[in-house]
Amino acid sequence: MKKKLLALTAVAAAMALSACGGGTEANVTEAQANAESLTKDATEESEESESQDENLRTFENVVLAENDVAKIELVNFFAEDVNWADGKQNEKKITIKVTNKSDDEISVWPEDAYLDGEKAYIVNNPVTVASGMSGNHDFFVAKDTKPEHTALESIDDLYRVEGLFEGRLETDSGSESFELNFSIPEALGNTESTADSENVAEPLGPEESSGSVESSEQIADTEAMNLWSVNYYVDNFNQPTEDWFITTQKLFAGTFNNSVATNGALGARLVVDPDYITITLHSYQDINPDKNVGFDKTFNITMRTSDGTDHNLSGIFYSQNDRIFVDDVYRDEVLAALMEEGNITFYLENADNRIENYLFTIIPDNFKTLYEMIAQK
């Protein structure tokens, strides 16, 4: 539009000179030259502006992730040429704004990123933010190719990025780690988080009817909820193997506490296979399980069966793992409880840090039927 207005103005000036007394051929020629110059300048300015627009996307009030400690907002996407040892690449970058909601200093960094479900390449430098303050931080996302990464083809590819932020809270008593999952398409689409109530299986009370299989729809004339199902581990080719496990699609509801959260919403899932019984914990009922980014943790586990009996168990949350392994010596005890009717409540407490604890209730439902069927094979 600016280009057109400048061109029209210049042409009008030329016409005015021609209409007035000074309408010599030389004056008209000079005016036309000036018009062409203005048009050229405007074209170059317009092309430069369009080029800048192609390399920048800005956002306002887009929250990628938030908990009691930090809020992470999307600020912009931008493209930038970076000179690497093996040549220059036009890297596609994401700028985030980290707001510290705690009373202590925090550090936050992108730990994992995925593009269309495939792991992407990132450089996970941290940003450190003081209490009550905010700070911007940018990082690039690229294709995870070998031997060197490959820049994304378009800045628009960033609209499909999902992943995980990790953080560290520095308190007087030591460091506390936390995680925040994010999904740019969900944040920009104003869709509900995958950690919504439809993922959570609420325990049934004695007067409540059963229903609901793998969706939130209630199904009449069903004697059991059929929450549990038999699944199979996959190999490196993503093909099913003969190694089975039994678990639930839905998360069981509960609460959790640590140094940064009190009675936070929890989702939990129990997984049983021929060798192990494991528990995944989902802070804020996120669809992705919590990951232990620190040292191994030992948990004291109390399992209360429907008759009110407490069973004392233990388990280990291994470093860089996303589930707690119930110690093998208690396997038969847990299986026996799952074979009975009535809900089972679990209380997990970090043996070295009692502030960190988890409470949730599971529904045995159709577990017995499935386990007896698969175990006989």
pLDDT at 325: 97
pLDDT at 28: 44
| Residues sharing a CB contact under 8 Å with residue 293, sequence separation 6 or more, in sequence order | 111, 166, 177, 179, 319, 320
Strand residues in 209-260 grouped as ranges (E): 228-234, 240-248, 251-258
Domain-by-domain residue ranges, the chain? 2-54, 57-189, 197-375
Instruction: Point out the residues of the chain with pLDDT beneath 70.
Output: 1-53, 190-225, 377
pLDDT at 316: 97
pLDDT at 34: 56
**Entry pTM:** 0.50
pLDDT at 2: 42
pLDDT at 55: 83
pLDDT at 53: 63
Record the tokens describing residue 208, joined without a space: 């409540």
Residue-wise pLDDT tens digits, 27-57: 545 545 555 555 555 455 544 444 446 789 9
Residue ranges in the chain assigned as alpha helix (H): 2-19, 25-54, 184-189, 331-338, 367-375
CA nearest to 273, candidates 347, 323, 346, 312: 323
The pair phi, psi for residue 27, each rounded to 5°, is -65, -40
The pair phi, psi for residue 277, each rounded to 5°, is -120, 120
pLDDT at 40: 52
Helix then strand count (H, E) for the chain reads 5, 21
pLDDT at 25: 46
Q: Please count the residues of the chain.
A: 377
pLDDT at 188: 85
Using a 10 angstrom Cβ sphere, with 0-12 exposed, 13-18 middle and 19 or more buried, the burial of residue 139 is middle
CATH class of the 57-189 domain in this structure? mainly beta
Note whether 151 and 90 are within 8 A (CB): yes
Residue written as token pair 């609420």: 202
Residue-wise pLDDT tens digits, 109-167: 999 899 888 889 998 788 999 999 999 999 999 999 988 899 999 999 999 999 999 99
